[in-house]
Amino acid sequence: MNNNHVFPIRTLHFAITILFFLIVVPVSHCQDKDDDYHFLECSSSYTYGCGSRKLNISYPFWGGDRPQYCGREGFDIKCQNNEYHSIEFENQKFRVLSMSESHPTMTIARDDLWNNCCPRKETQDTAMLDPYLFKYSPNVRLLSFFHCQEIYPQYPDHFNCSAEGEDITGFYNVSVPDLPPPIPNTCQVGIKVPVLLSALDDLNRTKNLGDALNKGFEVEYLLGSTPPCSSCNSAGGICGSNQAALGQFLCYCRDDQPHGTVICGPNESPPPDGKTDGKLKLVVGIATAVGGIMIIFIIICIYKWRKNSSTITTVMFWKKTKNDRDLEAFIRNYGSLAPKRYRFSNVKKMTNSFKDKLGQGGYGGVYKGKLQDGQLVAVKVLNTSKGNGQDFINEVAIISGTSHVNVVMLLGFCLEGSKRALIYEFMPNGSLEKFIHRKDTLKTNHHLGWDKLYQIALGIARGLEYLHCGCNTRILHFDIKPHNILLDEDFCPKISDFGLAKLCPKNESIVSMLEARGTIGYIAPEIFNRNFGEVSHKSDVYSYGMMVLEMVGGRKNLHLGVDNSSEIYFPKWIYKHLELGEEIRLRGAMASEEKDMAKKMIFVGLWCIQTIPLDRPSMNKLIDMLQGSIETLQIPPNPFPSTSPRQTLIDSATISMS
């Protein structure tokens, strides 16, 4: 693949950046200024008092009588009511409890939860601190606590509090900062807060959540110990910033000059009048500018020479990235089976510059397109912030190795720098979600009667059974939900979106997972809490069951549309009615065969969402259950241990139209 047109844009951007540092930075500091007071002011230690509390602050912090040019924009510490120090990150105010004098660490606590940890509706679930600016100490864990409509027995750590005149029972969970647990379905507010391990030990003894949060958490601020500040300090300078240039970093040196780059020299005294030194710097700046222009000229000449050169020459002349090598290895491994690779200009052409948008998700947008032979396609353009090139190649490799009527076909892909796109076969009826997640279910399901819903459920089960057992390597999807089920012109379902999928050997099932993955409402319990069991293909079974129950209910499991809040969770609601042998009213007129189909789907769904993975059937067993007789179905155990004991047999329940 010839990438000649990609080269000049990247190279010119790089050249312009180099030219900026070679020309603008040196010339901008050619003027002779008396800035020695910056060095003296910022190098002296500063104690910031607020009431009875005192902090010894240094770069990147400033505040009180310490000027802003000694710190960095956004790191100003304030004194609140002459009682405590505060600072704001990510639009969230924190109390500064302490700062280490020997290490770049500090202990902070969320101000909005100080002495009031009850999860109120207005409480912010603040994003974690910027990893480029802060690093959590090893003795920090992530505490997540929730206000829910009901308490699940799998969450034993409860607490009581009051907010807005309401007594609240909540629960909390603990994980490492990079692996936050998901919020359960019936929870309205979820808050994730870093806490100290010592505070968690106290919390386990006292169950006092407020005391644990008030102890704060420890973070290391990286700006003072990483380049360019660390290089500045090594050169004998003092770190600061230029207030007139949006907080640009400056290194204050003893030679009376602030530097944008770290070039502090020996502590020599400047000339008495400063004129000779100023002229010398001006000459150096002009010489550097001329050299920069020559560099740009040489780059343009190289580009013109390369424009007619072969792809082999290009590969030899420029160093390949890891993604380039991985992509070449992928193409070699799959040979003629590898999907076609398109340039981004081709992607724009086939989508008519992304004119016809089919949908939008967290990954990016999906657009309708047409190939040169007239075949309609769906083009998924991924956000540049969504993962890295390696993850994208893995996704392409996983889909390329599949071939099944119930798995979407990948026709091509684009990986051009940060631009990534996947070209799929076009599905005229879109996703299953739009047929079951709308308020007017009678209207939306005009084409999806019970027979069609049953066939869709059976087709998805066959597709998952193929992924789990029919491929050379077992594929675990980890994001089965109605949004990721596409329907062709005959409403044949096809599993799509393998962005979270993982591979494991065919003779194995259990996989290691360092982070929770999936969509809230469909994630199996063991994915975010290993106490329930190991992560395996049974995690997909759980997601499939939740989706089937949504197909039966005609809407999201969380929104049943009833007034009694204790019955708002549909899977629990339907199991309760089955236990009591009560009539289950579902939408639309139903014949006898359709009632059996609905009942099979209910039974299968409840079998799939068993809390313990070992209690869930495999996909081939579920296919047998869907295709078998209703009389042969075994009664599913209670997936909700808090539910009262069964009063009648489930198979005595009746299903009728609404």
Catalytic residues: 479
Number of helices and strands (H, E) in the chain?
19, 27
3-state class (DSSP) for residue 550: helix
Q: Is 340 annotated as a binding residue?
A: no
What would the two tokens of residue 58 be?
């240094």
Residue 322: closest CA among 384, 399, 415, 398: 415
**CA torsion angle 459 447 593 436 (round to 10):** 70
Whole-number CA gyration radius for the chain: 31
What would the two tokens of residue 552 be?
């039966």
**CA separation, residue 269 to residues 171, 253, 332, 603 (Å):** 65, 12, 64, 87
What would the two tokens of residue 297 be?
């000229």
Query: Could you give the angle at the alpha carbon of 199 between the alpha carbons of 195 and 204, nearest 5°?
Result: 115
> Where does residue 70 rank: exposed (0-12), middle (13-18), buried (19+ CB within 10 A)?
buried
Contact 405/492 with Cβ under 8 angstroms? yes
Query: Could you give the angle at the alpha carbon of 424 between the alpha carbons of 420 and 428, nearest 5°?
Result: 130
**Cis bond leading into 525, ω under 30°?**
no
Give the contacts of 402 (CB within 8 A, at least 6 positions apart).
466, 467, 471, 475
Helix axis angle, 322-334 to 389-400, nearest 10°:
10
Give the Cα separation of 116 and 473 in Å (integer): 51
Neighbours of 311 (CB within 10 A): 11
Buried residues in 154-181 as b, exposed as e (16+ CB within 10 A): ebeeebebebeeeebebbbbbbebeebb
Give the Cα separation of 464 and 457 in Å (integer): 11
Contact 249/239 with Cβ under 8 angstroms? yes
Give the Cα separation of 251 and 254 in Å (integer): 10
Binding annotation = 380
Annotated binding site for ATP: 380
